[in-house]
Homo-oligomer: A and B are copies of this chain.
Amino acid sequence: METFFSFLERRVDDCSSLLCVGLDPHVSMLPEASAEAALEFSLGIVQETSAYAAAFKPNAAFFEFFGAKGWDALSELIAAIKAESQRMGSMIPIILDAKRGDIASTAAAYAKSAFDHLGADCITLNPYLGKDSIEPFINVPEKGAFLLCKTSNPGASDLQDMLVLNDEERGKMKDDDALLPLSSFQPLYIQVAKNAQRWNLNNNIGLVVGATQPEALANVRAAAPDLWFLSPGVGAQGGDLATALKAGLRADGKGMLINVSRSIAKAESPKRAAAELRDEILQVKSQLGL
C-alpha cells in the first residue's frame, strides 16, 4: 500500500538525503515586501537545493502574510516543486507547515485546502484538540501529518514538559486517598508521542521534535520507535547535527528529517550548503554504522 511515508522513503533513497528544506520567505529576507518576492525567493531555493532535498517545507504563515496574493504564490510554489520533481524523475514530498488544529468539520476544510487545492502531501498539526481533529488529515494513507510533539522554542516547556499521569496509572486512581510515585508520570510530549504511535495505522503520522534537545529526542524515540520525526533547530537555533541524529534516528538509519531553513537561505551558495549538510548527515550515519 502506498502511504505518505513509503513515498518519503522512496525519495530518501533516491537522493540519499534526510534533509528537509524549509521555505520561509520571511519579509526581512526579501528585497521587497511582496508576494512575488516571496515566490521568487522560494523558487530560488528550490532550484538550488532540489537535488539534495528529501522534502520541501513551505511555511504557510509567510505566504498568508501577503493575503490572497500570498496564497496564489504558495499554490504556484507547490506546482513548481512538482514540475521540478518531474523533471528530475523523483517526486519530492511537500510538507505544508501550517500547524492547524480544529474540530472535525473545520479540520476537514483545512485538509481539503492543503491536500486537494494546494496539492501538499503532508501537513503539520497541533495535537491539543485530540484525535478527531487529526483524523480528517490522515484518512487517506497517501497524505500525511506531523503532529507537534516537542517544539524548539523557549515556551515549549510551558505545557509540553508538564508531568501528566500515565494512561495506565490513571485507571487506578479510583481511591481519592491513593498516593502516587514519580514513576507514574511522564511529560505531556511523551503522551503525544505515544498517542501518535498508536494512531499511526496508515503509516502516515509523524512527529515534530526539535533538534535542540537531544534528551527529549531520545525519549520520544523510545516512546515512538516506528515514527518519522521532523526536526527543526539545527543551525540557526543551535542544535548539533550529530548529537540530534544519534538521539533520533531509527535503527534502519531513517526516521528523521532534519529541517533547515535560514542557514541554507542565507548561505552564499544555498546549493553548496545543502550538499554539505546532506553529506554531513551521511557521514554521521556511517559513523553510527547505519
Interface residue ranges, A against B (CB under 8 Å): 24, 26-27, 59, 61-62, 64-65, 67-72, 75, 99-107, 109-110, 112-113, 117-118, 126-134, 148, 151-160, 162-165, 170, 173, 176-182, 185, 188, 191-192, 195
Seed contacts A61-B113, A164-B188; 11 additional CB < 8 Å A-B pairs: A61-B107, A68-B69, A68-B72, A70-B71, A101-B101, A104-B153, A126-B128, A127-B158, A162-B170, A179-B179, A180-B180
Which of B154, B185, B188 makes the CB contact (< 8 A) with A159?
A: B188
Give the chain B neighbours of A68 by CB distance below 8 A.
Answer: 68-69, 71-72, 75
Q: Report the minimum CB–CB distance from A174 to chain B (whole Å).
A: 10
Complex alpha-carbon distance, A53 and B224, angstroms: 47
Give the chain B neighbours of A70 by CB distance below 8 A.
Answer: 71
B72–A67 CB distance below 8 A: yes
A191–B165 CB distance below 8 A: no
Give the chain B neighbours of A176 by CB distance below 8 A.
Answer: 181-182
Interface of A, secondary structure class, is: helix
Give the chain B neighbours of A170 by CB distance below 8 A.
Answer: 162-163
Which of B26, B126, B132 makes the CB contact (< 8 A) with A153?
A: B132
Instruction: Indicate how many identical chains form the complex.
Output: 2
Complex alpha-carbon distance, A31 and B164, angstroms: 47
Top 3 A-B residue pairs of the complex, sorted by shortest distance between their CB atoms: A130-B155, A130-B158, A179-B179
Complex alpha-carbon distance, A192 and B129, angstroms: 13
Which of B100, B117, B126, B179 makes the CB contact (< 8 A) with A180?
A: B179
Can you list 19 residue pairs at the A/B interface with Cβ under 8 Å? A61-B100, A61-B110, A62-B109, A64-B109, A64-B113, A65-B110, A65-B113, A71-B71, A101-B148, A129-B151, A130-B158, A132-B153, A132-B155, A159-B188, A163-B173, A177-B181, A178-B181, A179-B180, A179-B181
Give the chain B neighbours of A162 by CB distance below 8 A.
Answer: 164-165, 170, 188, 191
Complex alpha-carbon distance, A130 and B117, angstroms: 31
A151-B103 contact given A65-B113, A126-B126, A179-B179, CB 8 Å threshold: yes
Give the chain B neighbours of A179 by CB distance below 8 A.
Answer: 179-181
Q: Report the minimum CB–CB distance from A160 to chain B (whole Å).
A: 7
